[in-house]
Amino acid sequence: MATLMPNPLICPFSPTELVHASASFQPRPRTLFDPNPPPTRARRSEGSSTDTAPKPDADGFIESDLRAGGPKLCEPPCETIRKLPTGLKNYDLFRGPGSFQLMTKLSDICRDDNVRPDHMEFCGRRSMYEPDRNPIVTLLVVAKRNNPSQGSWTIVSRKLFHYLRGSGITDVSVEIMDEKFEEDPRIHACVQSDAIFPIWKQVALQIFHNIDRRGIFTIGCFRIGDDNDRLKCPPTILLGVDRAVKRDWKPVRDTIVAILDNRGLLNVAVTIQKDNRVTRRGGIIDDQGVAVEDCRKDPNLGTSLSPWDRKDEHGTLGGWVDVRNPKNGVWSTFAITCAHCCFPRESAVSEGDRQVVQNWKQQGVRIHDEHKTRLLPVDSPSYRDIKTKLDLLASEIEMSKSRKEYQEVETLNSKEDFVMPFLESTWRDISAAINRRQKERHTIKKFLHDNENGSRLGTVFAASGLREVTSTDNPNSLSIRDWALVRVDGGRATGTNTFKSPPKSPVADLSQLKKFSSRLPALDDKLFKIGRATGYTDGKYGNLVICHIATKMVNGKKEDVPTWEHVLLSDGSGKGFNPVVDPGDSGSLVFDEIGVVLGMIFGGNGKSNIGYFTAARDLIADIKRITGVQEIRLHGSVD
């Protein structure tokens, strides 16, 4: 069976990991009399430290270092759905009167094979990549697996499965896992003393040119491990890849290891992980819609934004900028966000308009473009946010009115009968909740009614498109440009760059964005952003830029090119880490502890613990290039 890798220098497993090679370490000799063996790297594939990807047996059961079971296990990372429908077959055995006796017997089976459950339950299990699929009803057993010589968990899981079948429970899978199976390691920025730090771009380019890049999104370098002290976590080359591309990733990993070894970078590990977007509890998928206070003519920074009347798209109004007309000297104010948050889906427009949108993505939107009024109106708050909130309020009102206590008092009141004081008190509380929600619905509907075009904010004035452009700090490096300026319609008003910091924020007194700065963040700078999806979040500058693999048309052919993007890292990790960037946060301005804007978020990684942003000086330079203006400032800027 697979065994755990005992060396503490080896990076812990991540639920999205495909393959891993540790930093080089000195293994112990077999006996006291044997010479020291040469340094080596431990390798792992899909959670198995034999470096052989686990394959299911004929009956569907499978085992890796930290998980075993079958016949159906979902692809990690997984979510657990603990609330089972009461109409589920065998529900009484899972949660009802018969559950205690069943769970006692199942626990005894585990202990007989030296598996000591910390927790055991019947639940639903589902891959976070497939939120719309029906969960797999599963007996989930959580146990520690610290001893490499521990017996096979597959044997135990089969015994549990066959006992359930013998008890008439035939449609349940069994999963035994260590809780570490669902924990993500910590990601820290590298430090200047790391040998790879001064030569990172050279190493990244060598990797870029020497690997098969099919399915690869990004190449980064961080210190990754399970310790809060980053100096106890090895520098690690981290590749983010597309889970839909099915290939053997070990040759890519081993090519990178050879590059590192040839450069003497023996202390640098390699991890290749799936980097597709996952759904998380508390994220956009569980969203509550627009905040009522955001239904105003002059939207706050951080308010949702989307193409006009589109039900699915979602982005963030990052803030407000002033642009000076070079001809008459007049300053005009625009909302700033990402271009990709404003463009319509190509599948939703005509063939002719599709060509227009494609040209915009490649060349940008100019200020005199004749198509933008028709194709680039923008909502804020977004249609999705408003509809979600109205539907949620209507549902909550209906649920409150359907409560037995409320209906009983309503009936008594209609007959002018006596109402018991305790019933009347409950009725008053429910009525107050109903009135509050009805007022919120009225406020939202009045906002939509008072504006001729509902939640429409305005029209894109100019935009970068989705381009790779020479960086201002290095003419030999490309970086992504993804911005848009939105001119406000007559029925709406420009907002301010003020906000309220959370009381527990490191900068709780900060209440306004001050100005743009052309400087890059310093090493380990604390950075902040206010986005639609995750709200007010803080993180740290990633120190080393990440290599993003983009595709450009060169002489009529598609060609991979490296772009170099700045990184915002989450401060947390594990099962409860705070996401720094989620879908819907694109367009958020990145600022420091005194409110100076240093960039704008345009995306992030699949696990939401890494955000990518364009530096403010690159952003401003490109706005000037596309619009022809020479002076840009943050609205209400403080010099």
Q: At 369, which CATH number?
A: 2.40.10.10
pLDDT at 70: 94
Residue 601 included in any domain: yes
Give the span between the Cα atoms of 337 and 377, in whole angstroms: 13
Residue 439 clears pLDDT 90, i.e. is over it: yes
**Residues 269 and 305 reside in one and the same domain:** no
Task: Give the rounded percent of residues in the chain with a pLDDT score beyond 70.
Answer: 94
How many angstroms separate the most distant Cα atoms in the chain?
97
pLDDT > 90? residue 263: yes
What is the Cα gyration radius of the chain? 28
Q: How sure is the predictor about 313, in pLDDT bands with cuts at 50, 70 and 90?
A: low
Cα 133 from chain centroid? 20
- Spatial separation of the C-alpha atoms in residues 402 and 10, rounded to whole Å: 56
pLDDT-based confidence at 3, cuts 50/70/90?
very low
Q: Residues 31, 51: one domain?
A: yes
- What is the distance between the alpha carbons of residues 210 and 85, in angstroms, rounded to a whole number? 52
Q: How does residue 147 score in pLDDT terms, banded at 50, 70 and 90?
A: low
Through-space distance between the first and last CA atoms of the chain, rounded to whole angstroms:
65
Boundary of a domain, candidates 398, 416, 450: 450
Q: When comparing pLDDT for 314 and 51, which is higher?
A: 51
The per-residue pLDDT for 211 is 97
Contact assessment for residue 237 and residue 260, using Cβ atoms and an 8 Å cutoff: yes
Q: Within a 10 A sphere around the Cβ of 278, how many other Cβ atoms? A: 23
* pLDDT (0 to 100) of residue 552: 83
- Are 311 and 429 in the same domain? no
CA distance 346 to 354: 5
Query: Which residue's entry shows tokens 């301005």?
Result: 589
Containing structural domain, residue 99: 67-177
The pLDDT of residue 252: 98
Query: Which of 422, 450, 478 represents a domain boundary (last residue)?
Result: 450
Asked, for residue 227, whether it belongs to a domain, the answer is yes
Give percent of the chain above pLDDT 90.
Answer: 72
Same domain, 505 and 555: yes
The answer to whether residues 85 and 201 belong to one domain is no
> How much is the pLDDT for 555?
80
Q: What pLDDT band is residue 35 in, cutting at 50, 70 and 90?
A: confident
Residue 144 in any domain: the answer is: yes
**Length of the chain measured in residues:** 639
Confidence at 6, pLDDT banded by 50, 70, 90:
very low
Query: What stretches of 52-155 adopt beta strand conformation (E)?
Result: 62-63, 67-70, 78-81, 117-127, 136-143
In the predicted structure, residue 639 carries a pLDDT above the cut 90: no
- Whether residues 483 and 336 share a domain: the answer is yes
Residue 272: the pLDDT is 98
pLDDT given at position 308: 82
Whether cis (ω within 30° of 0) applies to the bond prior to 71 is yes
Select the more confidently predicted residue: 194 or 31: 194
* Listed residue (532, 613, 610) closest to 571, CA to CA: 610
Buried residues in 98-136 as b, exposed as e (16+ CB within 10 A): ebeebbeebbebbeebebebeebbbbbbbbbbeeeeebb
Q: Which pLDDT value is given to residue 76? A: 94
C-alpha–C-alpha distance, residues 517 and 596, integer Å: 6
- pLDDT above 50 for 1: no
- Of the two residues 364 and 95, the one the predictor is more confident about is 364
**Together in a domain, 466 and 421:** no
Separation CA 18–CA 240 (nearest Å): 10
Find tokens 């490296």 and name the residue. Answer: 562
Cβ-based neighbour number of residue 75 at 10 Å: 14
Residue 180 DSSP class: G
- Mean pLDDT (the chain, rounded): 90
pLDDT at 282 over 60: no
What's the pLDDT score for residue 232? 92
- d(C-alpha 526, C-alpha 487), whole Å: 32
> 130-139, 208-217, 623-632: which range is least confident on average?
130-139
Tell whether 479 and 343 lie within a shared domain. Answer: yes
Q: How confident is the model at residue 2 (pLDDT cuts 50, 70, 90)?
A: very low
Same domain? For 293 and 324 the reply is yes
Residue 92 pLDDT class (50, 70, 90 cuts)? confident
Does 61 fall in a domain? no
At 89 the pLDDT is 87
pLDDT of residue 83: 87
Mean pLDDT throughout 289-305?
Answer: 93
pLDDT digits (tens, 9 = 90+) for 461-504: 999 999 999 998 888 899 999 999 999 998 899 999 999 988 88
Is residue 430 in some structural domain?
yes
493 and 604 in one domain? yes
pLDDT: which is higher, 29 or 299: 299
Q: Is 185 exposed, middle or buried (0-12, 13-18, 19+ CB in 10 A)?
A: buried
pLDDT in tens, 550-560: 988 778 888 99
> What is the rounded distance in angstroms from the CA atom of residue 340 to the CA atom of residue 601?
12
Residue 482 forms part of a structural domain? yes
Q: Is 28 helix (H, G, I), strand (E, B) or coil?
A: coil
Q: Is residue 60 part of a domain?
A: no
639 is a domain residue: no
Residues 405-426 pLDDT 10s: 999 999 988 988 888 889 899 9
| pLDDT value at 294 more than 70 | yes
Q: With 50 as the cut, is the pLDDT of residue 565 above it?
A: yes
Q: Among 4, 42, 76, 45, which residue's Cα sits nearest to residue 250?
A: 45
- Using the 3D structure, point to which of 156, 177, 198 is the last residue of a domain: 177
**Same domain, yes or no, for 440 and 466?**
no
Distance CA 577, CA 61 (A): 31
Structural domain count of the chain: 4
Query: Tens of pLDDT along 208-257?
Result: 999 999 999 999 999 999 888 999 999 999 999 999 999 999 999 999 99
Rounded mean pLDDT, 535-562:
91
Are residues 299 and 251 part of one domain? Answer: no
